């Protein structure tokens, strides 16, 4: 998964890849092996380069508030694939909701025939030890739900179709 991440006034190119139970995170060309574990609530433990970090992460739209001790960083994340989805959402026809990264389906929030509005949650996927709610980009009726709780999905896998 490729991302653009802005911390303070610096923009960073970031790629994240799951490999053998841990993650390879490349930031501006520098590679890091990261083990992560979700703790309680919004708390996570990360181990990289023989150092351990416990942080809390709160999401506010496209900004993540990351706290470690008394330090706080506002991290803005721009996902080019999300921008492509946003462009598709304004087009006519069905919206095919796909997984952006490999993960496990934790919950399916809709059923075939449900009416959804833009921003309504459709599926919750656990990826990188974090639960990610996948939302509809446009309003309409759920035409098909392709996944069930417990399913493992790859990046690009079809989850839900909204018309």
Residue 81: what pLDDT? Answer: 58
Q: 156: Cβ–Cβ under 8 A, 6 or more apart, which residues?
A: 98, 99
Q: Are strands 63-68 and 71-78 parallel, antiparallel or unpaired?
A: antiparallel
Domains along the sequence of the chain with CATH: 2-78 (3.30.700.30), 90-162 (2.40.50.100)
- Chunk the chain into consecutive blocks of 10 residues (it has 163) and report each block's average pLDDT, rounded to whole numbers: 86 87 90 90 91 91 88 84 54 80 92 91 86 86 95 90 92
Residue 85: what pLDDT? Answer: 53
Residue 86: what pLDDT? Answer: 54
Q: Are strands 51-60 and 63-68 parallel, antiparallel or unpaired?
A: antiparallel
Residue 70: what pLDDT? Answer: 92
Q: Which residues pair with 142 in a beta bridge?
A: 162
Residue 130: what pLDDT? Answer: 81
Residue whose entry in the numeric block shows the structure tokens 């802005």: 6
The CA distance from 6 to 98, in Å, is 25
Residue whose entry in the numeric block shows the structure tokens 């990360």: 46
Residue 20: what pLDDT? Answer: 80
Q: Which residues pair with 53 in a beta bridge?
A: 46
Rounded to the nearest 5 degrees, what angle is found at the Cα of 127, between the Cα atoms of 147 and 137?
Answer: 60
Residue 83: what pLDDT? Answer: 52
């Amino acid at each position: 998964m490729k991302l653009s991440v802005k911390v303070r006034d610096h923009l960073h190119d970031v790629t994240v890849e799951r490999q053998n139970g841990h993650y390879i995170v490349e930031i501006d060309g520098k590679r890091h092996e990261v083990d992560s574990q979700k703790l309680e609530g919004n708390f996570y433990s990360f181990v990289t380069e023989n150092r351990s970090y416990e942080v809390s992460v709160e999401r506010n739209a496209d900004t993540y508030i990351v706290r470690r001790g008394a330090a706080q960083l506002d991290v803005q994340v721009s996902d080019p694939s999300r921008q492509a989805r946003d462009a598709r959402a304004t087009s006519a026809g069905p919206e095919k909701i796909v997984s952006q990264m490999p993960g496990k389906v934790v919950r399916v929030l809709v059923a075939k025939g449900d009416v959804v509005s833009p921003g309504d949650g459709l599926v919750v996927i656990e990826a990188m030890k974090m639960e990610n709610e996948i939302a509809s980009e446009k309003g309409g009726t759920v035409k098909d739900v392709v996944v069930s709780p417990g399913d493992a999905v790859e990046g690009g896998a079809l989850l839900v179709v909204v018309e």
